[in-house]
Chains A and B, each alone.
Chain A
């Protein structure tokens, strides 16, 4: 008797389960129509030539056409510099309010501010930096009037690589603060005490205990910052008006009108970006898992 009920249940289960899947059809349909399908279209397009035939030419051209390599290289450099700079500065800030001994209220102030600043991007951010470091910006004028330094005469330009990097930093280091503050909280007081009891100096403690424990989340966060800058478009476009040909700007130009005279190549550039974004997100989540080993709170 009981034997047959069990086998009955086993037969019943896949059927019942199939019905359960119906409940999530709307969500998957939505994701397919507005996320998967558009991405697939670009993917297929990047392997299609102008006559509609299959080709590897577009992908190959990514690695041979100089303007494309330059665009990727520019994007990579800007993302790497702002990820590293923002990462280091953000880490120091997160350090100062967590284990650095600053008063507690400053911590929640900094975290709230970081939440705002990491969301304050795009056109308004670009305008804010024009008002600060543009030709007639606040700092530019201040330096000129008070210290007699004309930064534009000494080679600085907001609408350039350095200017865009400074602007990106505004949303990069707050993101780092938001990621690193919880990780720094995970450092256990006992580790420090144990190290001190064994005669370690502060430097030794940081170099041999704290930093190795924090390293995965530190690296992971920097990789995330890289992706964050790599996918940015609006800030760069509003600031330089397309004058600094990073990859996203190139893609934007390709959408507005086929500037490459080869739609397939445009799709291939977009796919290249997706691949880089995917690698950085995968790297981040892998490192994040590793860091949980020590920093589980």
Chain B
């Protein structure tokens, strides 16, 4: 007796419902953004949004912030993860715990703490001797603070990505081989380790990019002129341009996730910067 394969009605129902939930808001946003001119479908909202100097400035700046975060994360996390694998396995659990902490401390709490610590001068305890001016006083200090904050927000993804990448390469053998050929630590990390974990680095970097470019909490509370706060303010007094930029943000996220899929072969990760 052969079993007749029924059409999985319920599965199709759930899938179609899910697809509708996914697509409707995007479709509505697209439709709205295309209808700036009365009775006509057109790209006016997009050209207007792009022409705005604020958009170019903030979007460029957000990309610079994302790039800075990615580079600083790689410089800090790769040698650390490498060193722990090679020489300090006893630090694994502690590091793992720290990289998970940003899940417990949401962005709004993190920025609260950062402002309270770095928004006032740092004194030597119990004296009035000033060690450090408030970082938030200068633009440069604020930029350092926000990049550090973004590194913290992206740490669970970036660090774990790097660490998982290293699991698949034999760090010890590679190191010994390189050392026997006379390579120093810098050469080993830059020319041996980095190329070997490039797909992990790439997916971590793209996730970091997706977090940083649209980020609004840290940027608005630290008063940084980034794309997130710009889009928010734009939405306060305009209708069509914010919809256009929202749709573009979605496409950007889509591109980042699609590239990750391409490089990691389907192991997707998720971000929690809502």
Which A residues are closer than 8 A to B by beta carbons? Answer: 20-21, 23-24, 26-28, 30-31, 33-39, 41-42, 45, 89, 92-93, 95-97, 100-102, 106, 108, 110-129, 131-132, 137-139, 168-171, 173-175, 178, 227-235, 238, 248, 251-252, 254-256, 266, 270, 273-274, 277-278, 281
Question: Shortest CB–CB separation between residue B174 and chain A, in angstroms?
Answer: 17
Enumerate chain A residues within 8 angstroms of B126, measured Cβ to Cβ.
Answer: none
Known A-B contacts A102-B12, A171-B274, A278-B104; A128 and B25 likewise in contact (beta carbons under 8 Å): yes
Contacts of B95 in A (CB 8 A): 24, 27
Closest to A254 in B: B112
Q: 0/1 per residue, B178-222, Cβ < 8 Å to A? A: 000000000000000000000000000000001000111100010
Assess A20 versus B11: contact at CB under 8 Å? Given A120-B250, A228-B274. no
Pick 24 A–B contacts, CB within 8 A, sort by A. Answer: A21-B91, A27-B76, A27-B80, A38-B114, A39-B109, A41-B113, A96-B8, A96-B10, A97-B11, A102-B8, A102-B15, A108-B261, A122-B273, A123-B228, A124-B231, A126-B235, A128-B250, A132-B25, A170-B21, A231-B107, A233-B217, A238-B235, A251-B108, A251-B112
CB–CB B24/A132 < 8 A: yes
Q: Please give me the residue from chain B that is nearest to A177 by CB atom.
A: B18
In Å, the complex CA distance between A35 and B153 comes to: 10
Which of B36-44, B51-59, B264-272 interfaces with chain A? B264-272
B15, B112, B116, most chain A CB atoms within 10 A? B112
- When chains A and B are docked, how far (Å) is the Cα of A209 from the Cα of B10? 20
Interface pair A24/B83, CB less than 8 Å apart: yes
Q: Is the CB of B14 within 8 A of A95?
A: yes
For residues 66 through 115 of chain B, which have their beta carbon under 8 Å from a beta carbon of chain A?
Answer: 76-77, 79-80, 83-84, 87-88, 91, 95, 98, 100-115
Q: How far is the CB of B232 from chain A (nearest CB, A)?
A: 5
Whether A111 touches B268, Cβ cut-off 8 Å, given contacts A34-B148, A128-B26, is: yes
Least Cβ–Cβ distance between B171 and chain A, in angstroms: 13
CB pair B274 A38 closer than 8 Å:
no
- Measured in the bound complex, the distance between the Cα atoms of B249 and A106 in whole Å is 24
> What's the A-B contact tally at a CB cutoff of 8 Å?
260
Q: Closest 5 interchain pairs by CB?
A: A38-B113, A231-B106, A100-B11, A138-B28, A96-B11
Provide the bound-state CA to CA distance between A232 and B271, in Å: 12
CB distance from B94 to the nearest CB of A (A): 8
Contacts of A229 in B (CB 8 A): 274
Contacts of B257 in A (CB 8 A): 112, 115-116, 119
- From DSSP, what is the main secondary structure of chain B's interface residues? helix
> What does DSSP make chain A's interface, helix, strand, loop or mixed?
helix
Contact yes or no, A122 B268, CB < 8 A: no
Minimum CB–CB distance from A157 to chain B (whole Å) comes to: 17
Query: Measured between alpha carbons, how far is A178 from B245 in the docked complex, in Å?
Result: 27
Shortest distance in angstroms between A104's beta carbon and chain B's nearest beta carbon? 12
Query: In whole Å, how far is A103's beta carbon from the nearest beta carbon of chain B?
Result: 10
Write out the residue numbers on chain A whose beta carbons fall within 8 Å of the beta carbon of B114: 34, 38
B159 (CB) vs chain A CBs: closest residue: A27
**A138 and chain B: residue at smallest CB distance:** B28
- Known pairs A93-B15, A100-B11, A233-B217; A42 contacts B109 (CB<8 A): yes
In the assembly, what is the distance between CA of A35 and CA of B156, in Å?
13
* Contact status A113-B80, CB under 8 Å: no
Q: Which of B80, B83, B108 has the most CB of A within 10 A?
A: B108
Contact yes or no, B88 A24, CB < 8 A = yes
Which B residues touch A139, using CB under 8 A?
Answer: 24, 28
B274 engages A96 (CB within 8 Å): no
For residue B130, give the distance in angstroms from its CB to the closest CB of chain A.
17
- Supposing A102-B15, A110-B18, A138-B32 touch, asked if A273 and B109 sit within 8 A by C-beta, the answer is yes
Q: Which residues of B contact A230 (CB under 8 A)?
A: 106
Q: Report the minimum CB–CB distance from A189 to chain B (whole Å).
A: 14
A274 to B250, CA, bound (A): 30
Given contacts A34-B114, A38-B113, contact A128 B246 (CB under 8 A): yes
